[in-house]
Structure formats: structure tokens, C-alpha cells
Amino acid sequence: MKKVAVIGVGETRFGEHWYKSFRDLAVEAGIKSMEDANLERKDIGALFVGNMSAGKFIGQEHVASLVADHLGFSGIPCIRTESACASGSLAFRQALLSLQSGAYDAVMVEGVEKMTDIIGSQASLALMGAGDQEWEASVGLTFPGLYALIARRHMHEYGTTPEQLAMFSVNNHKNAVKNPDAQFRFEISVEDVLNSPLIADPLHLLDCSPITDGAASVLLATEDFIKKKKIKNPIWVLGSGQSSDTVALQDRKSLTAMFVTIDAAKKAYKQSGLKPKDIKIAEVHDCFSINGLMAIEDLGFCKKGEGGKFIEDGNISLGSTVSINTSGGLKAKGHPVGATGISQIIEIVKQLRGECEKRQVDAKYGLTHNIGGSGASCLVHIFGKEK
């Protein structure tokens, strides 16, 4: 199997971009990644675009061709992938497989979403498209409601507390202060979280990720291409795992464990030859604080049911047992759903390159974890400084 590395990264600032369009964001991120790798358009063999719901958010479909057009890539294959909030990571995996197959030498992978051009209720409707329309949406469930059910069950089975959930959000905001691309660059306290409006009991407003605009782009290349172009400081893809589960919560064997995370992580760890103890930095999918807490359990950083105590004891802060969401995570960096998976990868790449300044941690390997919907899909990727 061909060895593949990330050789260029670029992203926009995450937030509300009133004066930038979907295509503006995509082009900005793409150009930044090209400049970072010092490549030209002729070097790129294909374009992969992760996007969840441009049709509902901005009325635009055919987005892969649109992005290729405005990046000046007309003539090369362009592919759009969709897996709800894991759309970006799915695009990355498809690009990785295309390089490993020998189809291309170098490709661009973009994730992009423009979510703030519609009102909040319409955005919620679009996002609930990642749930089960017949069995969940039709009876009034939203994603905060789905994750509230999960949180309540975790609390019932393991004694997890609202304070421990809040500590996950607190950690994200503390890291986001040090990230110039983050949407919310301010610290919060546990009291702030618990005093914020209750969205779906027990989840408060500050347990929830925001509506966000943004784009992220990475360039992937084979080992031969990297040698030919004499590219410095590539970050190698060591493992890639993908899994799926039922869309509706009612059909799951458990509400307190994400099978998709466990399974995707198992595949990625096996491929990389690494174990959870080898990972010192991870970007995990915290669309809600309970999902971040469960992720550190299901990825093997602590035992099932001990996530709350693990967080409370300071094991996820910068430079601790495993530095979680040094970017600020979905909660504080922002969650433009199609771009999130690629942005997670960018953070790990920059950390392994040693480019994160005040939020820099010492790590040889890094991991990304990207969930689609309430756990119907998941991708886990592992990266290293050496192949």
C-alpha cells in the first residue's frame, strides 16, 4: 500500500461570514493550502469536497464542480462526499484511498459549509436531515434532544454529572483563546455553562456547538510525489478507520457507547500499529459535551463510564495525559459541518509540525475523530511525524 502524507493545509477563520459566500470561503481555504505546500494547479490530480447540506443552507448543489471551477481546476475529476457532520473526513478518506490505489499522485481535499444565511429554525431543520425523519424528526426530536437522551442515560448508568460535562466545554474555550481561527475566543467557567439557558435537559446552551461558516483544505500526496517535489515536513497518514450504525437511536444496542467510534478507532489503531496510550493529542467530535466525553471513553483514553472523572482530574488539558481539542473543538472553534473533519486534521498536522505557538503540545502522533449525525457514521484518522 502506498504511503501518503498531508503536505499542505489552509483554512478560513470560523464564524459568521456575512460578506463572504460559499465559494469565497472554499477558494480562500484552497489557495492557502496550495501556498502552504508551494504547489501549482497542474500538480493536483483530483478534488474531493466534503459538504453536508449546501442545498438546504444556500440552495446550491453540484458543489464539487463549483469549487473546482472557482479554484481554476476545471478538467480534473471532482467528487462531493456527504456523511452528515463527518462529510469532510469522508472526503479525506476517499482521497486517501484514491492515492493508495495509484489513481493520483496529489489531490486536494476541501470541507466547506455556509450555515448562517438562513434563520436558526431552518438550520435546525437542515441539520435534522442527518437523523431519522420518520422515527425522530416527525415527533419533534432535534439533535440537542437526541444527545440529551444520550446524556441522561450516561448519567443514569455511570453517575456522570452536569459539572463534568461543563468541564469539557470549559477546556475547549480555554484552548480556543489561543487559536486565531476560532469562532469563540473567550474563556468560560463551569458556572457559566450551568447558568446558560437549558436547551434540552441536561444540555445547556454552552454544552452545544454553534452554527458556523467556514472552509478547510488539505493537500495529500504519495511518497514518490513528495520525494520528487522535495517537500519538507510531511505528516503521514498512519491509520484510517470508518464505520456505521443505525440512524435512529431506538435501534441501538446502547446509548452510552458509540459503536461507530469504537469500531472505526479499532480499525485505525490496527492499521497504524498504535494503541490509545501512544496518542497524546486528539481532536474529537464534541457537537455536544456528552459526545466529547463519550469519545474519550470509546477511543480508549479511559474506561467506559470514567470519562467524567477523567475530565475532572485534568487529563484532557494542554500537555496532560491526552490533549483534547487544542483547536477549541466544535464547541469553541466552531462547527461548519462539512468543514469540521478537515479542520480537525489541520489542527493535528500543525501540532505535529510544531506550528501551534501558545497551544503547542509535544506529540509524535495525533488522532482525529469525526461523527456523523447522532452516531450513524464515524471516521477516525491517525497521523505521525514519521511514516
Q: How many angstroms separate the CA atoms of 270 and 106, rounded?
A: 25
What is the CATH T-level fold of the domain 4-119+211-236, as seen in this structure?
Peroxisomal Thiolase; Chain A, domain 1 (3.40.47)
Using DSSP bridges, classify how beta strands 365-372 and 281-283 pair: parallel, antiparallel or unpaired: parallel
**What sign does the CA torsion over 301, 307, 310, 311 have?**
positive
Distances (CA, A) of 249 to 152, 253, 259, 378: 13, 9, 12, 15
Asked if 78 is an active-site residue, the reply is no
DSSP-based three-state secondary structure for 93: helix
Give the pLDDT score at 160.
Answer: 98
- Low-confidence residues of the chain: pLDDT under 50: none
Give the pLDDT score at 119.
Answer: 87
Q: How many angstroms separate the CA atoms of 381 and 259, rounded?
A: 16
Give the pLDDT score at 59.
Answer: 96
DSSP annotation string for 151-196: HHHHHHHH---HHHHHHHHHHHHHHHTT-TT-S--S---HHHHHHS
Domain boundaries of the chain, sorted by first residue: 4-119+211-236, 126-210+238-384
Structure pTM? Answer: 0.98
Asked if 378 is an active-site residue, the reply is no
Chain segment 55-79, per-residue pLDDT in tens: 999 999 999 999 999 999 989 999 9
378 Cα distance to chain centroid: 10
Distances (CA, A) of 75 to 32, 45, 63, 78, 80: 21, 10, 15, 9, 15
Give the pLDDT score at 375.
Answer: 97
Give the pLDDT score at 125.
Answer: 83
- Decide if 4-119+211-236 and 126-210+238-384 have a common fold: yes
Give the pLDDT score at 32.
Answer: 98
Helix axis angle, 63-71 relative to 22-37, nearest 10°? 50
What is the CATH T-level fold of the domain 126-210+238-384, as seen in this structure?
Peroxisomal Thiolase; Chain A, domain 1 (3.40.47)
Give the pLDDT score at 236.
Answer: 98
Catalytic residue among 17, 173, 335, 381: 335
